[in-house]
Amino acid sequence: MATSQQPGYAECIEAFQIYIKAKQVCGSNSSSSEAKFIQFYALQDYFNANQMGKIFKLLSQPNLGNEIRQKNYLRVFSILVFIGKAEYITQFIRYPGLDDRHLPFLSPTHPPHNWPPPIEEFYPAFYSAQWQFCPQKFVRENLWNVCFEEDHILPIVEKIQMRKGRSAVIYKVKVLENYNTLIHLDSNGWSRPKTFVLKTYFAKDAEKYYQNEVEAFNQMMLPVKHEPHIISLFGAYRHGRTYNILLEHADSGNLMDYFESITPPSSEEDILQFWSSLFKVVEPIKRIHELEGYVHKFPLLGERSKRLKDVRSHQNIKPSNILVTSGATSSKYDRNFKLADLGMSHFASKTGDKRNPKRKETFGNPMYSAPECCMGVSTETLTYDFEPLIDIWSLGCIFSEAIVWTLLGVSGVKQYRELRRVETGRITNFNKTEYNGCFHDGTKILPAVSKMHKEAKNRRLDEDHITEHVVTLIEGMLGNIKSRFNILQVESCSRSILINAREQEYPKVFRIFSPPVLAPRTPLQQTPESYESPQGTTSESGTSPNNTTPSSSLGSGRVFVDSLYSDESGGKINDPLVDFAELDVFLRTGIPPKDNYGPPPGRSPPDRSPPSPPRPPHRSPPTPPYISPYTPPSATSTGQTPVHNPYQKKEPILSVEEVLEWKNRVKLGSGTKDLTGKEYLDRLGNRDHVFLIDDSKSMGPYWSKVTKTFGALSYLVKHVDPDGIDLHFTNSLETHHSRRTRHLLEKVQRRKPAGQCDMKSRLGKILEPYRAELPRALESNRHRHFMGIDLRHWSSKGRSICIYVFTDGVWQGGSRPLGGVDEPIRIFVNKLEELGLLDTQVGIQFIRFGNDERGMERLQKLDSDLHLPMDIVDTTPWDGNVWKMLLGAIDRDWDDEEE
């Protein structure tokens, strides 16, 4: 192609090359070295109308600037200018398939079939130059198991190596914001992170590990089965010869980093919050075990065992693979603990033979591996039916160290590891191996582990109602392969432990003595400390009716603690775990502690079975004095004796705590005693139930009470609203709807109160569509008895509505006394009166939290001083009568009752 070029064209090209060099950004290529590229906006800035005109004038060609922009040829034109071949732009525009959307061209030797002649003249130069103009944009739907050329530049502008393992290198990377459209759901909602973790596989089996992890994530991240407690995968790609996955960055490191940076919890509330967070790790492990049709045996649930085709397990559960991100609240014990590293997870095809003596796993960290996986040491033969139980052991080890951390801090965890190293160092097959410091001797747990668990029970705080039960759970997870808990048992037991522990947070008047939440399976060891449960039925001799020692009860309360005492004096068991002064000497000098645990290497252990200590005298729980089922919080909170009220209310009185107590009993199957006033639930039938929760900053101090109250009320009303209940927050326009209140409760727990509250606007947006549909619904129901409206199915059902507003009354609203909240209520009442409907059609119940003076005044005026023709508003404190919360806005008798 002959084109005359004016003097100055070479200077134009040189000026553009200088501009490119000045504007380049450092990305990365497949060799992990820096690779510079130019952002698209910089090309747009440079090639303005004047610059385009100047270039085409020098080329003695018509100005094609507008056509280049409109037809997406700006990158192609920039490359041509950069290599001094701008005159060929007319040929590119003439032929299809040569625009920016088809860049980069992938073959270094064979150009596209429409490439303008002469090919040999400049295609190699174009191919080499194109990469700096075509960085890969990170788009989630286009970053899934794809391949990039070696020269393809990625928008990773910062790359720091964090650690290097046996199969992969882990980097902390930052992606250029303009080339990053990756989003994910975190505790604050959808976000676009800038920092990620890049995992690059380098071993000879790199492709295998990469494909394993991609396949596992592919199943774990199905939209209908999103698992929030596994680290998020943003992309997976092959770059040249490297295999890479792009993962969520954990801003708080891993579990051990968390232990080292956070002081252990010291209050009942913090201990419960920590275990509530850590137990969430069970959920992704359960999902892994259920992948590809895997169904475990459930002996406790009575389900029939099934022969399985494929088995899935994680096989590498350890503290460094439990990552920590920020939680929904500011509490340092409210964290998202997320499982990571699915690269070791794999399927094991099952043969006709139930056992495969050749099958031995060596994956995972030896310190946290199960006895049956101990290559060359364990006498167990791995059974495919039990392979997922490897994960249960590893998780039990992590829980064991977590228990020690809660009581002794990170130094206690390190001492605990030294104790295990001392013991395993005396085992011939373990000495100077990677198994040194593990939790077993090749067959069962170490004595040091059992003693540390006993010490944990002894050192716990009096108000700690969870540690002893977690220890019992751990012992079930560290059993032999035939008696070890499966994942469903771990999930069920951990949930029950939390429920019972939360029950202990309530005032004593609401506490109950419940049966064990966890019945241990075959005991790991018959220890002298296995005293009978004080809650069991015993004969006068202090033994159970069948003359056996029952397993420890997990019932909560001081009575269980007393059963651990060695005498009536109330002192701790006189059997300390270890002389920690002796351990300190060991850490300084290397002289090991006395051999309290096992024989020296190479010798058989002598029979040291200690004589059983005398059984402590049986003491039945003292019968508590009769207490009224409801005590006003104002009296109990100050320690004063409640003043007797001569007016006895005929209607039943029910507290939030009593509802939760009843809910727990029902879920645990330990009793289905009728709820006080349960018959009143019928009045709430044929209605939609909507919760509006004020999540402004002022509600932060009351959020645990908000969660508790929502858990109680939503559990009650879901039984009379089969379509499910609606949940709204004042600082979000999103509506959450579900028949399963557990899902909604999790959304409340994760919410972070922030900002101000525009209660007028939010309440109005809930009432407006309902009000607008009233005339139409009334018309469609004129030939039948009209009972109300359903916001979602008004034409077929016609239902009334109850709105429960959780707030402290601290709203924005300037000088208006009620913050304008009365306006949508007045408009709605006028509509009801206009249509001739009853005041029971809608009820708006304000449930008050806190004692803000102005907030209390506002809520009281909404309840009593609106002077409307219909009274559809009521106000009740959160610790008042639950039946008034549910009925006060739709039943005048309840509205008129004093709290």
Q: What is the mean pLDDT of residues 473-488?
A: 91
How far is it, in rounded angstroms, from Cα 775 to Cα 344?
62
What tens digit of pLDDT does each residue of 531-544 get? 333 333 333 333 33
Judge contact between 848 and 709, C-beta under 8 A.
Answer: no
CA 676 from chain center: how many Å? 35
For residues 641 and 326, the model is more confident at: 326
Q: What is the mean pLDDT of residues 766-777?
A: 79
Judge contact between 449 and 439, C-beta under 8 A.
Answer: yes
Q: How many residues does the chain have?
A: 899
DSSP annotation of 179 reads G
Q: What is the mean pLDDT of residues 640-667?
A: 67
pLDDT value at residue 275: 95
C-alpha closest to that of 105 among 85, 77, 68, 134: 134
- For 133, other C-beta atoms within 10 Å of its C-beta total 23
Using the Cα atoms of residue 263, residue 266, residue 268 and residue 269 in order, give the sign of their dihedral.
negative
What tens digit of pLDDT does each residue of 840-854 get? 888 999 999 998 888
**If you average pLDDT over each of 61-70, 343-352, 549-558, which comes out highest?**
61-70
Contacts of 33 (CB under 8 A, 6+ apart): none
Q: Helix (H, G, I), strand (E, B), or coil: what is residue 244?
A: strand
**If you average pLDDT over each of 38-52, 378-392, 420-434, 453-467, which comes out highest?**
38-52
CA 368 from chain center: how many Å? 23
Res. 590 pLDDT band, cuts 50 70 90? very low
What tokens were used for 779? 């018309």
Q: What is the mean pLDDT of residues 1-15?
A: 72
pLDDT value at residue 818: 83
Query: Any idea which residue has 């920690």 for tokens?
Result: 580
- The amino acid at residue 535 is Q
Please give the C-alpha separations between residue 758 and each of 763, 764, 809, 844, in angstroms, as whole numbers: 9, 10, 11, 17
Res. 778 pLDDT band, cuts 50 70 90? low
For residue 629, pLDDT beyond 50? no
Contacts of 29 (CB under 8 A, 6+ apart): 35, 150, 151, 152, 153, 154, 239, 240
Residue 561: enclosing H or E segment and its boundaries? helix 558-562
Whole-number mean pLDDT of the chain?
Answer: 75
What tens digit of pLDDT does each residue of 264-315 get? 998 888 999 999 999 999 998 888 887 654 333 333 333 333 333 445 678 8
Judge contact between 699 and 753, C-beta under 8 A.
Answer: yes
Query: Any idea which residue has 């019972």 for tokens?
Result: 500
CA 590 from chain center: how many Å? 42
How far is it, in rounded angstroms, from Cα 451 to Cα 596?
11
* Lowest pLDDT segment from 385-394, 434-443, 527-536: 527-536
Pairing of the two strands 800-807 and 687-693? parallel
For residues 230 and 596, the model is more confident at: 230
Contacts of 786 (CB under 8 A, 6+ apart): 777, 778, 798, 837
For residue 795, pLDDT beyond 70? no
What tens digit of pLDDT does each residue of 881-894 get? 999 999 888 887 77
- The amino acid at residue 287 is R
**Residues 370-383: b if buried by 16+ CB within 10 A, e if exposed:** bbbbbeebbebebe
DSSP annotation of 576 reads -
Burial (CB < 10 A; 0-12, 13-18, 19+), residue 610, is exposed
pLDDT value at residue 100: 94
pLDDT value at residue 582: 52
What tens digit of pLDDT does each residue of 354-366 get? 444 334 444 567 8
How far is it, in rounded angstroms, from Cα 531 to Cα 689?
49
For residues 831 and 795, the model is more confident at: 831
Q: Which residues pair with 57 in a beta bridge?
A: none
- Please give the backbone phi and psi of residue 854, each rounded to the nearest 5 degrees, phi first: -70, -40
Rg (CA), the chain: 34
For residue 627, pLDDT beyond 80? no
- Percent of the chain residues past pLDDT 70, beyond the cut: 70
Q: What is the mean pLDDT of residues 679-690?
A: 84
For residues 120 and 786, the model is more confident at: 120
Q: What is the mean pLDDT of residues 584-600?
A: 47
pLDDT value at residue 94: 87
Q: Helix (H, G, I), strand (E, B), or coil: what is residue 714?
A: helix
Res. 443 pLDDT band, cuts 50 70 90? confident
How far is it, in rounded angstroms, from Cα 63 to Cα 56?
5
Q: Where are the beta strands (DSSP E) in 624-753?
A: 687-693, 725-729, 736-738
What tokens were used for 680? 């009143």
Res. 653 pLDDT band, cuts 50 70 90? confident
How far is it, in rounded angstroms, from Cα 718 to Cα 103?
56
What tokens were used for 8? 């100055």
- The amino acid at residue 707 is T
- Percent of the chain residues past pLDDT 90, beyond the cut: 32
- Please give the backbone phi and psi of residue 252, each rounded to the nearest 5 degrees, phi first: -115, 15
How far is it, in rounded angstroms, from Cα 805 to Cα 230?
34
Q: Helix (H, G, I), strand (E, B), or coil: what is residue 711?
A: helix
Res. 781 pLDDT band, cuts 50 70 90? low
C-alpha closest to that of 562 among 476, 625, 622: 622
